[in-house]
Structure 1
Amino acid sequence: MKRLLAKSYDRKKSSEPPDYALLIVHSRDVSTACKALANLGGKIAISNAQISISKLEEFYITLVTNGWMQDTGKASQHFQEMVSGKPEITQLLRHETISGFLFLLVPELSEWIKTLPINPTIAIWGAMGHHRKFDKGTMEKNVEELIIKVEHPDFQTILQEMGSDLEIKQSPPIFSKPLIIGVNKNDICDLPARESLNKIKSQFKELEKKFSSEEDRRFIALIKAFGIAADMAASAIAKKYQSANKYSLQEFVRKTLSEGLKPEDLRKLIHQWAWKEWRKHNQFNTKFEQQNLRKLPPNFKLRKFQKQVGRAKTKLTLAIAGCGSGKSIAAYIWMLLWCKRFQQQGRTNFRVFFCLPTTGTTTEHFKDYALESGISEEQIGLTHSRSFVDLETMAETSDQEEVIKDNDENDPPRVAEAVLKAQRDKIESLALWSTPLVVTTADTILGLMANSRRGIYSIPAIMQSVIVFDEIHAFDEVLLGHLLVFLKNFPNLPVLLMTASLPEQYLQAIEKIRPDLALIPGDSRLEELERYTIDYPTTEEKVWQAVKECLAENGKVLWVRNQVEWANIIYHQAITHAENEPVFANTSINVYHSRLRYKDRSYRHRQVIDDFSKKGQSAFLIATQVAEMSLDLSADLLITDIAPIPSLIQRMGRLNRRATPEKPGNPKSALICALSNEKDVKPYESKDLKMAQQWLDALKLLNKPLSQKDLVKQFKLPNNEPEYNYAKAEERACFFSGLWQTRPGFTRGEGYTIPVILKKDLDVWKKDNPKKEKPDQEWLRRYEVSIPIRQEVLKWEKVSGIRIAPQEFIEYDYNENTKKGTGAKWL
């Protein structure tokens, strides 16, 4: 008998299909993973979503039913051919759509599952959406009729085990012949695909009214997400261990999701940071203390603001405090409080997601806090689009059909790229299950609202966690909308929001959907410290004169420009000045932006931080928006293009950053430059720059040195900005709004750049690795560089899904010996 397959396998290595490839084994594994996830995470997920605890049993049964249903459609002839050596085949319908057909339109099966003590519709929606490819636009393909092997012994066994597992008293139906699905009603068949699709979509549309309550939408979303996560885990673990008797999915889920931090782990992290800060200010102390991570350093005191954040008792806390006020460590003090609470509730799997807006901020936070925390490396993790995870620890688990797009069947390279990305998402998400402290980009969590693969795969870990979203002022409209919907629908999940400033309409939007919000301002003594003087508008002559005067005093200069090309121009002008003017002698001059290869950018970042840390030595940095968040440095002079108010507040947060009430020093100058061409506002919008002009004019009228409180207070004054459109955000958040439709949406608004690999780098790699087909993911991410998007990019070849930039289009300026250069630019 030819067995029914769930996965393809290497027929050169095995004449018979290994366990992981069998449909019957995979179906068992998915249902087992569903049971394990429901037992371990169901109760807390329901609680986080404020769903009645009385629905816990329904959650369990619905999820397990979903797990059994998911791949029954793989009994189709087309799918079996696809995994048996014909990957290019076009299927009449995807397997998960067929699964829905079976339990909705085949009377024997639809009547059988009606005896369950749940509404099977939700389980069916979960099954049909478990590859995020079913919605109102789903259509049949115009190919030959499709045979579903419902009479096959493997299919019958799946139904029998499903019935036994779910305790369905009635025996499952027995089929004596296959089921035939035709293209439309003109074909001789049991079910016409076109008419059947139209029928069930109409039924689903009608049912939307029945599931209109918030509780129903949350329940459906959790069923779908946990079902997808269960399928991912079942596929990955089975493929790794090959034989069913070598692994236990229940044990895997229990072990990975039971990992947690203890209060002493977070205490150690906080003390490690405190000792690091203490050494900065006591490096010449002759009585240098031996570091003891069990206590704070001598005479070291946490700030009042940090203690207040740590004592916050509400599920949602917003800390608005100026740059340099110690928000990050306040967040870890907050985590310590929640860790103790978890422990008091008998929960030992305390875990944290610390989310930042960009890859640069994420990496630096990981280095500065998690990596030096003293917590074991197995318990901390960094994840974003460039963080490296060892792909060799787990074999490929993504089959072609899982990732194929509607029009890509005959485009093997595109399919291969999608498979690679799916592998990476699975492996990195699964790694998060066993990582209690994760530093990541906000997209990992908020991508859940857009049905992103990584967000959904990570949901079992997310539901067990407390979450910090830092620098929320930097979220664009789409990402902020996802944050609002996330907060609204998981009201019992502990979340800390942090920022130096926030537009009033954003604050009002958060308060409207979460009246329980606790707002904690920064320390008044720090916030009211007069740090800045503002000169706006200024002149080029005045700017360069100020630069020379600052450098002559061995000061630190930060010049922030809105576009990379503008930053490079100033950098080259600075180099020219250095060649001709003594005042620039011994000054470290550098440029920092996103057009550097990731490995070069990482080196440049550390170099810049070191340059600004050296006392008695001048430094001059020209940067772009990357300086707003990812650079923890203090300048003596700030020069900046006019930018939106939150951006200007962030940039000014790098000016006179180390001033304290005990050592206030003198206010430092911020020179704000108007744009030379008022129409060239990218990457911003004209209305935001006009608001910034009004804000600067209002600050000048104060006629005094300015504090962080002054900056924020003027920002909060009433303006004509419309109320944030939460209804639109809800619509975009297809995780909840989708109901029966499951397709990926968007996490962020449209960007201006695309990552590429330089052809000359790839050529060098090929020369050094003649026996390898392509670079591994670590190499790709180290050599990846972002460039502005142009139409030509779409015609370039790819390696593992990343475009290869030809030398005739892209020039890369960087000296490997001196580590100097301006990076990539179009020719």
Structure 2
Amino acid sequence: MSKEFKHFLAKSCQDPDQPPFAATLAGHTLAVLDSFRTIFGEVDSPSRLAVQWFNFFGLPLSIYPVFFKQSLFSCLLHDIGKANSGFQEMIRRRGNQLVRHEHLSAVFLQCPEIQDWIGIAEDTDADIILSSVLCHHLKAEPQNQNFAEYIPGVDQPRFSLDVALLSKTIQELAQSVYEIPTPPASFSWPGRWNFDRDNKGTGYKDLAAAKLKKFYRTLRRSKDRHRLLMAVRAALIISDSAGSGLAREGKNISSWLHGTFNDNELLTGTSIKIKILAPRQKEIEKVTGAPFVWQDFQIAAGDLPDRAVLISGCGSGKTLAAWRWIERRLKKTSYARVIFLYPTKATASEGFKDYVSWAPEGILLHSSSQFDLQGMFENQDDRPGCGDFLVEARLFALAYWNRQIFSATVHQFLGFLQYSYRSVCLLPLLVDSVVVIDEVHSFDKPLFSALKQFLANFSVPTLCMTATLPRQRQKELAELGLAVFPQDPAAFIDLHRKTSASRYKVRSLGDYMDQAEGSVSDALDQGKKILWVVNTVDRCQEIAARFNHANTLCYHSRFKLEDRKKRHQEVIRSFQEQSGPLLAVTTQVCEMSLDLDADVLVSEAAPITSMIQRMGRCNRHLRNPDLGAVYFYFPDKILPYEKEDMTAVASFISAIDGEVVSQRDLEELLEKYGDNAIETQRYTAFLGDCAWAQSRAKELADIKETSVLAVLQSDVSRYFELRRNKESFDGLLIPVPKYPPELTWQNEKIGRFPQVTSEIHYHQKYGFAKHPWEIII
């Protein structure tokens, strides 16, 4: 191999024979070591972030030197597996990689000279180094299921290793790491490898596999060692990410990271008061025409401890209460960041628009945030940070490291629990943050289980918020040390007045949908504003098309993103500004993201917490002297819900049928009829994989993959134009049902993503339908 290659490459480059130093194995490794030192400090002087890192992982700072040594060795050796001939041929576009390089790194570590070298170093743990190196790309399945296996399609199993060149590379690299002993002059790796045969290399592989299984058993008994492994492994991942991304983009690693993690630019209570609260209060005064006054429960919320759950009805002002809590936390202790987490992209965007966007350091973070930011504000001068909300896309997760105030979806930050690589790369932000997690009532069982495990195993100030929460979930959060607030809403006059006020007149229509239509027609004749919520997109489209007139709006998830964004804004604006009759037919998208106030709510039966959330969009601000009219009826099918989701729903509706109801009444009925079964703990990879690490990002929540993203055939030319201009094409994407499968197909030039679908199924007013619209209308 030395005759073929002068250098080991770690990254692709235009001229492999004369690569830039950053593309070589030595250059990349030094960049990773530089990133680690800049982020975490030196062996005798941990950085502020290192201190927060240890607090987050529940580790005593006294073992920081141990963490430092494991991490140095891991950074130094993490990519030695790239020195094999298969990877070097692949990176030069002359062949294929035979075995994943990080798996080979773990195998190469079994060389006796490597083991002896690690063993004589003080404060080292060879098993932690082995696991960290193996798992730094999160592609190591538990129980060695794919360990050092040949990549599918490999037609010949042999590869080679230039032992002399790799030995020389390690010796040169080690010279920059003064905290560890000098490596041996040579290593006894074999020059030729074939895992299909019984040989020295296969013996190394078997030895590594045996050590991993033994280490797994040890970690199950040693919580402290497991925590140290998690901290080292995550440190390697973020150091590798920084060393790769910053070098690729030509950034000076040290200066960029020092500027990003600047101890002199921490957030304080005063900064939140000036940058977030003051402009928001001014905006409220502009809308209401009255001086802003804190409610008494909002004032009390500011004094809640570092762990709490705030339960307050829709429209009560709990978001302002949360920001007051943030202000008081930062007045007590400075943190680098504030993170406000929401369950959906729409709620995150609304949270950004109303609060976070007032701060120049603010940013919106979810899968389509860059598109949502386009045209969010009618007057760009309304926000001091406008024009600086976009990030350097090629830095990926690192692009968000220099931001301080976040409105994001919960998956972006808590996804690390299921080893989402992007989320792991955001850990340097999370560990030094004050965190608010909103709408926790909407979390399905896997996501709520993940939330509980986050709270139980990691330390960061956290406020959970919701309008309603079943008693069992309140109990589980309280057992994790969260103070439930308020214990007695009646103790706060303003909150008691809102929650106990007569708000709704409820009527059950049984399973008679025709009565629902009659009630809607009567309300429209009376000039009322009506919100009709159904459980499926198909029924939403069907009803909206049947009431087809100028004052009917249809809103659900199956629009092109650019049209959905317009429809979202149109629905809110119509309820806020339009006089006269109005009908909005929606799906579950209304439950959290729509800040509107309807005179009449018509809703299909749904899980109890969902129905209460829907009711929160009716007579929201107590401005209707006639009470909000609420009608419930049962659809023919309960889909998309399961039978267990609908437990006691009929009893709940029966209890309020014909009654005048307050929010307080709903809370008491939720306690009586809500799902109070003890929920089983779900598996989280970050805590459960132990010696291994396999990404299970899609398992954070119980998301059923019922749709695929596609673009209309008529938009394909726009898609290519946007790609050529390096602009986002998110606005063209539509979630199209997977079934029937003939709804979508692949375009040869586009590839597998996105799919393509026919425009005959799309209507700008009603969205995408399973059948051509000329048949439906």
TM bucket (normalised to shorter chain) is 0.7 to 0.9
The question of 1:609 aligning with 2:563 is answered no
Match of 2:243 in 1: 234
Contact 1:217–1:737 (Cα < 8 Å) also in 2: no
Match of 2:628 among 643, 663, 668: 668
Match of 1:58 in 2: 66
Shift in Å, 1:615: 5.8
Match of 2:538 among 565, 587, 597: 565
TM-score normalised by L of structure 2: 0.87
Classify 1:800/1:506 alpha carbon distance in 2 versus 1 (closer, same or farther; 3 Å). farther
Contact 1:151–1:178 (Cα < 8 Å) also in 2: no
Shift in Å, 1:801: 5.4
- Alignment-mate amino acid for residue 27 of structure 2: V
Match of 1:112 in 2: 117
Match of 2:476 in 1: 509
The question of 1:733 aligning with 2:684 is answered yes
Q: Supply the distance in 2 between the matched residues of 1:571 and 1:184 (Cα, whole angstroms).
A: 63
Q: Supply the distance in 1 between the matched residues of 2:523 and 2:24 (Cα, whole angstroms).
A: 71
SS at match of 1:208: helix
Match of 1:302 in 2: 294
Q: Supply the distance in 1 between the matched residues of 2:172 and 2:449 (Cα, whole angstroms).
A: 45
Q: Supply the distance in 2 between the matched residues of 1:653 and 1:792 (Cα, whole angstroms).
A: 39
Shift in Å, 1:351: 0.7
Shift in Å, 1:27: 0.4
Match of 2:254 in 1: 250
Match of 1:360 in 2: 346
Match of 1:462 in 2: 430
**Over residues 573-616 of structure 1, what are the superposed CA-to-partner deviations in whole Å (9 max), with x where a residue is unaligned?**
211xx4xxxxxxxx622111111111111111111111111264
- Alignment-mate amino acid for residue 711 of structure 1: L
Match of 1:723 in 2: 678
Question: Which runs of structure 2 are paired with 1:51-200 in the superposition (5 Å)?
Answer: 51-86=59-94, 89-91=96-98, 93-103=99-109, 105-116=110-121, 117-135=123-141, 136-139=144-147, 140-141=149-150, 143-152=156-165, 155-162=167-174, 165-175=177-187, 179-186=191-198, 189-192=199-202, 196-200=204-208
Q: Supply the distance in 2 between the matched residues of 1:766 and 1:616 (Cα, whole angstroms).
A: 39
Q: RMSD of the alignment, in Å?
A: 2.6
- Alignment-mate amino acid for residue 532 of structure 1: Y
SS at match of 2:486: strand
Q: Supply the distance in 2 between the matched residues of 1:554 and 1:793 (Cα, whole angstroms).
A: 40
The question of 1:751 aligning with 2:733 is answered no
Match of 1:817 in 2: none
Contact 2:743–2:770 (Cα < 8 Å) also in 1: no
SS at match of 2:93: coil
Match of 2:403 in 1: 435
- Alignment-mate amino acid for residue 365 of structure 1: G
Q: What fraction of aligned residue pairs are identical, expressed as a percent? A: 26
**Over residues 524-554 of structure 1, what are the superposed CA-to-partner deviations in whole Å (9 max), with x where a residue is unaligned?**
2211121112111354454334324433443
Contact 2:598–2:618 (Cα < 8 Å) also in 1: yes
Shift in Å, 1:118: 2.1
Match of 2:651 among 681, 691, 694: 694
Shift in Å, 1:176: 8.0
**Over residues 263-288 of structure 1, what are the superposed CA-to-partner deviations in whole Å (9 max), with x where a residue is unaligned?**
34421321222222222222xxxxxx
Shift in Å, 1:648: 0.4
**Over residues 603-650 of structure 1, what are the superposed CA-to-partner deviations in whole Å (9 max), with x where a residue is unaligned?**
111111111112643321110000001100000000000000111011
Contact 2:113–2:188 (Cα < 8 Å) also in 1: no
SS at match of 1:323: coil
The question of 1:807 aligning with 2:758 is answered yes
- Alignment-mate amino acid for residue 469 of structure 2: L
Q: Supply the distance in 1 between the matched residues of 2:189 and 2:571 (Cα, whole angstroms).
A: 72
Classify 1:563/1:131 alpha carbon distance in 2 versus 1 (closer, same or farther; 3 Å). same
- Alignment-mate amino acid for residue 38 of structure 2: A
Match of 2:661 among 702, 706, 710: 706
Q: Supply the distance in 1 between the matched residues of 2:438 and 2:398 (Cα, whole angstroms).
A: 24
Contact 1:35–1:63 (Cα < 8 Å) also in 2: no
Match of 1:544 in 2: 517
SS at match of 2:173: helix
SS at match of 1:388: helix
Q: Supply the distance in 1 between the matched residues of 2:92 and 2:524 (Cα, whole angstroms).
A: 70
TM-score normalised by L of structure 1: 0.82
Shift in Å, 1:823: 3.7
- Alignment-mate amino acid for residue 64 of structure 1: L
Contact 1:109–1:173 (Cα < 8 Å) also in 2: no
Match of 2:284 in 1: 277
How many residues end up aligned between the 2 structures?
721
Classify 1:275/1:122 alpha carbon distance in 2 versus 1 (closer, same or farther; 3 Å). same
- Alignment-mate amino acid for residue 427 of structure 2: I
Question: Which runs of structure 2 are paired with 1:31-46 in the superposition (5 Å)?
Answer: 31-39=33-41, 40=47, 41-46=49-54
**Over residues 693-721 of structure 1, what are the superposed CA-to-partner deviations in whole Å (9 max), with x where a residue is unaligned?**
12222334xx6411111112111127775
Classify 1:147/1:797 alpha carbon distance in 2 versus 1 (closer, same or farther; 3 Å). same
Classify 1:31/1:553 alpha carbon distance in 2 versus 1 (closer, same or farther; 3 Å). same
Classify 1:520/1:249 alpha carbon distance in 2 versus 1 (closer, same or farther; 3 Å). farther
Match of 1:448 among 416, 419, 441: 416
Match of 2:559 in 1: 596
Contact 2:111–2:188 (Cα < 8 Å) also in 1: no
Contact 2:314–2:613 (Cα < 8 Å) also in 1: yes
Contact 2:529–2:575 (Cα < 8 Å) also in 1: yes
SS at match of 1:635: coil
Match of 1:266 among 261, 272, 284: 272
Q: Which stretch of the first structure deviates more once superposed, 23-32 or 717-726?
A: 717-726
Q: Supply the distance in 1 between the matched residues of 2:528 and 2:91 (Cα, whole angstroms).
A: 66
**Over residues 295-342 of structure 1, what are the superposed CA-to-partner deviations in whole Å (9 max), with x where a residue is unaligned?**
xxx6421112222222212x2110111111112222211111122223
Contact 1:163–1:172 (Cα < 8 Å) also in 2: no
Query: Unpaired segments of 5 or more residues in structure 1?
Result: 242-246, 283-297, 344-348, 391-422, 579-586, 815-819
Classify 1:73/1:793 alpha carbon distance in 2 versus 1 (closer, same or farther; 3 Å). farther
The question of 1:2 aligning with 2:3 is answered no
Match of 2:731 among 777, 782, 789: 782
The question of 1:524 aligning with 2:491 is answered no
The question of 1:327 aligning with 2:318 is answered yes
Q: Supply the distance in 2 between the matched residues of 1:761 and 1:159 (Cα, whole angstroms).
A: 59
Match of 2:380 in 1: none
Match of 2:718 in 1: 765
Classify 1:494/1:720 alpha carbon distance in 2 versus 1 (closer, same or farther; 3 Å). closer
- Alignment-mate amino acid for residue 533 of structure 1: K
Match of 2:55 in 1: 47
Match of 1:407 in 2: none
SS at match of 2:340: strand
Q: Supply the distance in 2 between the matched residues of 1:166 and 1:389 (Cα, whole angstroms).
A: 47
Contact 2:473–2:676 (Cα < 8 Å) also in 1: no
